[in-house]
Amino acid sequence: MKLFRALQAQGFGSRKACRLRVRAGTVAVNGVRCTDPDAEVDPASLELGVDGGLWPYRERAYIVLHKPAGYECSHQPTHHPSVFALLPAPLVQRGVQCVGRLDQDTTGVLLLSDDGQFIHRMTSPKKGVTKTYRACCAEPVTPTMLAALLDGVQLHDAPAPVAALACEAVDADGLKLMLAEGKYHQVKRMIAAAGNSVVALHRESIGAWALPADLAPGSWRWLDAEDLERLERTWPSVKS
């Protein structure tokens, strides 16, 4: 692969812009500055240095963002900043999309990718990929409320009651619940239908993959092969 094409594939601009970057001497290939945009590079072992920053070549982008409150999962936000403002420009340029969405006031695991098949696989209701949330409620969590969430509550846009796959209290006014679908505002609406309301909501995991404890709100990181494999397992039970 030619160097300028590798840069373009990683989101560093148009063909012309990438050629100019290389000729300007701001690009390194595995630590060695290169000024020839047509130099042949091996994507399998390529680490680009661009404007002083390191960028390992990745054919597809799979990342996790610890979404903070106050950000919308949209390229065209209406009332709050976009989550894409938290990412480096090359990731946005190469077209990463949110793998499902979180409300602006919901925090936690948000996956992004430019792999359409991966996005479909993770979001299709037929795949049954689970999502686990921790909710802080306005009123105490009661056994009756937990039973209602497990048995199923009626939502206005659902033909039949919707039930959590698992649900348990974690403290006096907090609970953890697992779903295998993602209707609009589903957790908030289910808890409202069970007689309570959500004060704060955090998505802890998708499938068998939990948000890393060391990933701070607003930060992101690449997902590796092990992460991707774990994402497609179904977490069998809710754990505290």
CA 25 to CA 44: how far, in whole Å?
A: 23
Residue 152: name the closest of 186, 184, 129 by CA: 186
Contact 110, 102 (CB under 8 A): yes
Between β-strands 198-206 and 106-113, what pairing exists: parallel, antiparallel or unpaired? Answer: parallel
Question: Of these residues, 103, 115, 173, 227, which one is catalytic?
Answer: 103
219 within 8 A of 192, measured Cβ to Cβ: no
Q: Is 103 a catalytic residue?
A: yes
DSSP string for the chain: -BHHHHHHHTTS--HHHHHHHHHTT-EEETTEE---TT-B--GGG-EEEETTEEEE--SS-EEEEEEPTT-BSSSS-SSS-BGGGGS-HHHHHTT-EESS---TTEEEEEEEES-HHHHHHHH-GGG---EEEEEEESS---HHHHHHHHH-B--TT-SS-B--SEEEEEETTEEEEEES---TTHHHHHHHHTT--EEEEEEEEETTEEPPTT--TT-EEE--HHHHHHHTSPP-S---
Catalytic residues: 103
